[in-house]
């Protein structure tokens, strides 16, 4: 069991910081290797920048535009008449589907409410958590033994 170089407090060898004075415990850092782990939530991968927008240079003939519009009108008309035929039946099926989905959701909610305990368990009494790194703090030290944060 090593002792703190700074204050002489007995510390655990895997505690990176002295819980009494916050001094670094070099043994714990050496045990983990020379490279310090990245802080929690840190992402090393940076998303690639979006590709540059390609400028499309199109030469449009007015005659082609007119022909295209005419084709689109014809296509749209056919689609519209087809949709009207199927619409009432489609709406009926859709309505039934929505009702069935609602019932399923209500049933699931009821089942979940019955399965879950009414309240979440509070954390164990006396267990302190570091406000800086979120790790549970062992013992009654004044400093976090994970990151060296001074504790209230
Ligand atoms: Zn110390
Ligand atoms: Zn901490």
Average pLDDT over residues 40-52: 72
- pLDDT score of 66 more than 70: yes
For the CA of 5, the nearest ligand:
1
Least confident residue range of 11-20, 50-59, 83-92, 118-127: 118-127
pLDDT confidence tier of residue 49, bands split at 50, 70 and 90: confident
Tokens representing 75 are 């296509």
Centre of ligand 2 to C-alpha 33, Å, is 19
For residue 102, the CA-to-ligand 2 centroid distance in Å is: 46
What is the 3-state composition of the chain as percent helix, strand, coil, each rounded to the nearest 5? Answer: 40, 5, 55
Both ends of the chain: CA-CA distance in Å?
26
**125 C-alpha to ligand 1 centroid (Å):** 26
Q: What pTM value is reported for the model?
A: 0.30
């Amino acid at each position: 069991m090593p002792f703190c170089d700074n204050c002489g407090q007995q510390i655990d060898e895997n505690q990176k910081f002295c819980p009494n004075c916050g001094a670094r415990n070099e043994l714990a850092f050496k045990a983990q290797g020379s490279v310090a782990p990245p802080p929690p939530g840190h992402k090393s991968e940076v998303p690639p920048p979006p590709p540059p927008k390609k400028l499309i240079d199109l030469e449009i003939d007015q005659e082609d535009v007119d022909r295209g519009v005419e084709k689109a009108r014809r296509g749209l008309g056919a689609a519209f008449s087809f949709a009207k035929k199927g619409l009432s039946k489609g709406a009926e099926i859709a309505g039934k589907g929505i009702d069935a989905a609602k019932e399923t959701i209500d049933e699931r909610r009821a089942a979940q409410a019955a399965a879950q305990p009414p309240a979440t368990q509070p954390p164990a009494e006396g267990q302190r958590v570091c406000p800086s790194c979120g790790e549970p703090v062992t013992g009654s030290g004044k400093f976090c033994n994970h990151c060296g944060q001074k504790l209230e």
